[in-house]
Amino acid sequence: MDLPAAPISVLFVDDDAMVLSSIRRCLTRVGFNVTAVDSAEAALVAAANRRFDVVITDHHMPTMTGAELIDRLLASDPSLRNRIILTSGDLCNDKTEALLARTGCRGLQKPFQVAELALMIKSAGRTTDLITA
């Protein structure tokens, strides 16, 4: 008899309190185990204390950008490659496209549908199974 799979653990980072709260609520409702933080610095602390299957980060934040956060996360845990999703209203520029190509991260254009984000999380979370198998 197979045991049910553990829910995918998600670290969600966004400096907008409304976005943070609503996305956390929606993702929790569809079955993800969500930790939501409002800054890149808080994300680094959370990631240092717990392993997450998927990290979702906003790109434009006040004290540390999503790009800087991604670089720091990958420096401390290269296995996060392909398991980070960058959200932004301006993914279609040379700098952001280069970041995604260099890091292997996935990009999701804002505004997005929660169903679209959930599919990306499931897809990224499946790479965790390959790493631990």
| Residues 45-93 pLDDT 10s | 999 999 999 999 999 999 999 999 999 999 999 999 999 999 998 888 8
What is the percent of the chain where pLDDT is above 70? Answer: 92
Where do we find the tokens 């800087």? 68
Reported as a pLDDT band with limits 50, 70 and 90, residue 105 is very high
The reported pLDDT for the residue numbered 41 is 98
Instruction: Evaluate the CA torsion angle 39, 78, 89, 25 in order and state its sign.
Output: negative
Q: What is the overall mean pLDDT for the chain?
A: 90
Rounded CA separation 69/125 (Å)? 19
What is the percent of the chain where pLDDT is above 90? Answer: 83
Do 12 and 36 touch, CB atoms closer than 8 A?
yes
Rounded CA separation 121/53 (Å)? 9
Reported as a pLDDT band with limits 50, 70 and 90, residue 5 is confident
Task: Give the CA count within 13 Å in the CB-facing half-sphere of 62.
Answer: 5
Three-class SS state of 97: helix
Q: Which helix (H) or strand (E) holds 50?
A: none
> What is the β-pairing status of strands 9-13 and 54-58?
parallel
Mean pLDDT for 101-112 is 93
Mean pLDDT for 33-56 is 97
Three-class SS state of 26: helix
The reported pLDDT for the residue numbered 4 is 53
